[in-house]
């Protein structure tokens, strides 16, 4: 009976979806070199980070200001300047958070720093998290940052590709989600705080490479997606202390074609709530709550790099009940999604000549 | 003056090399499924291991006998039944050694066992080496086995691809060459026997994936080659306790195209004596000492999988002074080389319908 109701609701939602394009696309900026992180400042100005290690403010008059003061980072492969986030009280304290690939003994690893943002530079720089250990290679640095309603900072990492089995071990930060206080200290109620040899920052483990994270508005839970190897991209609802299975459990396959691990399910490991096979290479994630797209309210939006589209997932409570592909006509790799204060949706495209686009309702509606 | 002499010698060697084919190729057996290990028994019969986990005796009358009694192994990707070796006193004690991919907690790893060979089965099975830790994935198991003149057994491993940084750490067996007594105990003069937390079996480290090893007859030294990632296959002369650099030092590049590590040389790490860029994917190795190919005496022969050829390297002492490509006309992947007692050269080709070939001098010479 319940599933019948759900089907009827689904059919209804298809009927009320207009067939004409629901949106128009405004090009806010171009000539951005592999932009990765994006935040909207209280002033309406935008901060964009280019992966090669440049932080730009896009001013409302169309000019750009290069913000100085970033620490040394490794800009190679998938590494460099990655995500940006504002402190929940940014308007008062001006703390900007950024994740990046930090060089050091043994190679490189993800790190997170925060600094006070002034008009032209970063000051009072504090490195608040350093992924241990560093490894060789330039893949799978993660990383997204998100604050929840209580002010905890979640950091998603990758398993650095050439060290994937570490995702199953608690003595390191690879393939993990971490939970910190805003200034970088460890909350005393983290799940492994009393586990011998475990890194106390760990909130969940068994992840491959997470480049999308957001707080689910009704529940306050952390939702993330992660890249699968060849197939097997996942959406997961994160529970404290849970094991998400990589690389022992996956819907993906080795790039060489062989099987990985022990199938798609193991007792004691959390299953994904959604899987993409083949992979879309998800990056960027947003629960839409704006007024401009009423049909999309409550939807989960996910960007796709290899998939070159914007995915809209319709939710029914904590279940995903429908998937819609949007923007395929643009042929762009989508790295990041950010909700604009006016209800529009900002998108960063991943390219040497990357763009900042804004999705707005079609004018003829 | 010395280099002038070397050039003259080289020119001379080219002049005396006949232009006509020096060899003919005898097909000894076919229909072998990815054959990997090969030994010639004192009787002249041949033992062949198929990677999928079958051990066959090729009898002199052309019939085949399946030898029963192999332990459980993981036959997937590059893993399965790998190298075969006879104890130096095999004629008396019948010990057959074999390396294979052993399943277990955490995935799989290279192991070595020995067993008494009877007419139809293996008995008295002893697992004498287990690579620690096991990891996920089905690539880079190594492995070759070679006994030196003193009776020590050398085992070459791989770094299991997804755990490559472990090749630089001494607390594990990944990306190492190991040295054992014939029954599996650790010689007391191994280089790291007194190093805290180091695995005592280690003879050398910093290797990627070694599928060719042989004792250099004049010096008694262990020579090996190893697979580079994308370019950077190496020939190395092994010194006890030395670090061969992977993945910090390599002539190769990431499959993604990016750079790896810190260049091609680092202080304190041993340099290769020969490098292939692009890669040939070397497998199998033999110092030729037979009578049938007088021009080849003292040459180092190396098989190539991706390169689909037999490489003959001319030595001058411990230097490689010339490289000749042979058998390119066959278009076969060469897995293994074994010296036949009559001076011919056995070759295994890597294919679902693999062959055992024998190289003999051309009849018209």
Tens of pLDDT, residues A238-247: 999 999 999 9
Record: contact B136-A76, CB cut-off 8 A:
no
Q: Which domain holds residue B171?
A: 24-32+80-95+134-361
Greatest CA separation for chain B = 62
Closest CA in chain B for residue A160? B162
Tokens of A208: 């491959």
Q: Which of B87, B140, B173, B225 is catalytic?
A: B140
Q: Which of A356, A335, A280, A343 is nearest to A313 (CA)?
A: A280
Number of domains in chain A: 1
- B52, B77, B136, B254: which to substitute to probe chain A, counting the most A Cβ within 10 Å? B136
Task: Find chain B residues with C-beta within 8 A of A135's C-beta.
Answer: 165
Q: Which residues of A touch B261 (CB under 8 A)?
A: 107, 136
Residues of A annotated as catalytic (active site), given as ranges: 140
Q: Which two tokens stand for residue A341?
A: 């204060």
Best B254, B262, B266, B281 residue to mutate vs chain A (most A CBs within 10 Å):
B254
Query: Tokens 């580079």 label which residue?
Result: B228
pLDDT class of A2 with cuts at 50, 70, 90? low
B141 and chain A in contact, CB less than 8 A? no
B163 touching chain A per CB within 8 A: yes
Domain assignment present for residue B74? The answer is: no
A154 has which bridge partners?
A146, A179
Looking at residues A7-31, what average pLDDT do you find?
69
Q: Does B80 touch chain A (CB under 8 A)?
A: no
| Residue A234 resides in a domain | yes
Instruction: Please report whether residue B296 resides in a domain.
Output: yes
SS3 A295: helix
Backbone angles phi, psi at B165, to 5 degrees: -65, -20
- pLDDT of A16 higher than 50: no
Q: What is the ipTM of this complex?
A: 0.76
Interface residue B190 vs chain A (CB under 8 A): no
Q: Is residue A237 assigned to a domain? A: yes
Active site residue B34: no
Smallest Cα distance from A174 to chain B, Å: 12
B118 domain residue, yes or no: no
Quote the CA–CA distance of B187 and B145 in Å, as a whole number: 16
**B54 part of contact set with chain A, CB < 8 Å:** no
Chain B CB contacts of A168 under 8 Å are 106
Q: Rounded to an integer, what distance in angstroms lies between the CA atom of residue A243 and that of residue A258? A: 23
Looking up residue B195, the CATH number of its domain turns out to be 2.120.10.30
| A50 inside domain | yes
Residue A14 lies in a domain: no
Query: Bigger pLDDT: A22 or B113?
Result: B113
Model pLDDT for residues B98-129, shown as the tens digit of each residue:
999 999 999 999 999 999 999 999 999 999 99
Query: Would you say residue A185 has pLDDT above 70?
Result: yes
pLDDT (tens digit per residue) in B150-206: 999 999 999 999 999 999 999 999 999 999 999 999 999 999 999 999 999 999 999
Cα dihedral sign for A173, A179, A180, A182? positive
Does residue B345 lie within any of the structural domains?
Answer: yes
């Amino acid at each position: 009976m319940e599933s019948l109701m759900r089907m009827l609701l689904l059919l209804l939602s298809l009927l009320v979806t207009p067939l004409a394009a629901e949106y128009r696309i405004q090009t806010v900026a171009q000539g951005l070199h592999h932009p990765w992180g994006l935040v909207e400042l209280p002033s309406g100005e935008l901060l964009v980070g280019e992966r090669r290690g440049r932080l730009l403010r896009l001013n409302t008059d169309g000019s750009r200001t290069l913000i100085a003061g970033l620490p040394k980072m490794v800009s190679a492969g998938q590494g460099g300047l990655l995500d940006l986030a504002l402190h929940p009280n940014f308007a008062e304290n001006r703390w900007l958070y950024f994740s990046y690939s930090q060089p050091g003994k043994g190679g490189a690893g993800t790190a997170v720093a925060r600094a006070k943002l002034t008009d032209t530079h970063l000051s009072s720089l504090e490195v608040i998290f350093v992924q241990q250990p560093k490894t060789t290679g330039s893949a799978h640095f993660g990383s997204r940052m998100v604050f929840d309603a209580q002010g905890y900072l979640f950091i998603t990492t990758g398993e650095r590709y050439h060290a994937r089995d570490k995702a199953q071990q608690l003595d390191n930060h690879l393939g993990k989600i971490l939970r910190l206080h805003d200034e970088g200290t460890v909350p005393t109620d983290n799940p492994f705080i009393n586990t011998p040899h475990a890194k106390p920052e760990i909130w969940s483990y068994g992840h491959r490479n997470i480049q999308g994270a957001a707080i689910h508005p009704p529940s306050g839970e952390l939702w993330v997606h992660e890249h699968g190897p060849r197939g097997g991209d996942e959406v997961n609802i994160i529970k404290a202390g849970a094991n998400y299975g990589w690389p022992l459990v996956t819907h993906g396959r080795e790039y060489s074609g062989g099987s990985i691990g022990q199938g798609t399910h193991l007792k004691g490991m959390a299953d994904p709530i959604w899987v993409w096979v083949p992979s879309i290479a998800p990056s960027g994630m947003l629960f839409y709550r704006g007024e401009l797209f009423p049909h999309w309210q409550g939807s989960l939006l996910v960007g796709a790099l290899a998939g070159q589209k914007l995915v809209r997932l319709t939710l029914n409570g904590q279940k995903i009940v429908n998937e819609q592909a949007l923007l395929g006509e643009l042929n762009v790799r989508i790295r990041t999604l950010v909700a604009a204060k006016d209800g529009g949706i900002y998108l960063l495209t991943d390219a040497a000549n990357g763009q900042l686009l804004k999705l707005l309702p079609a004018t003829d509606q």
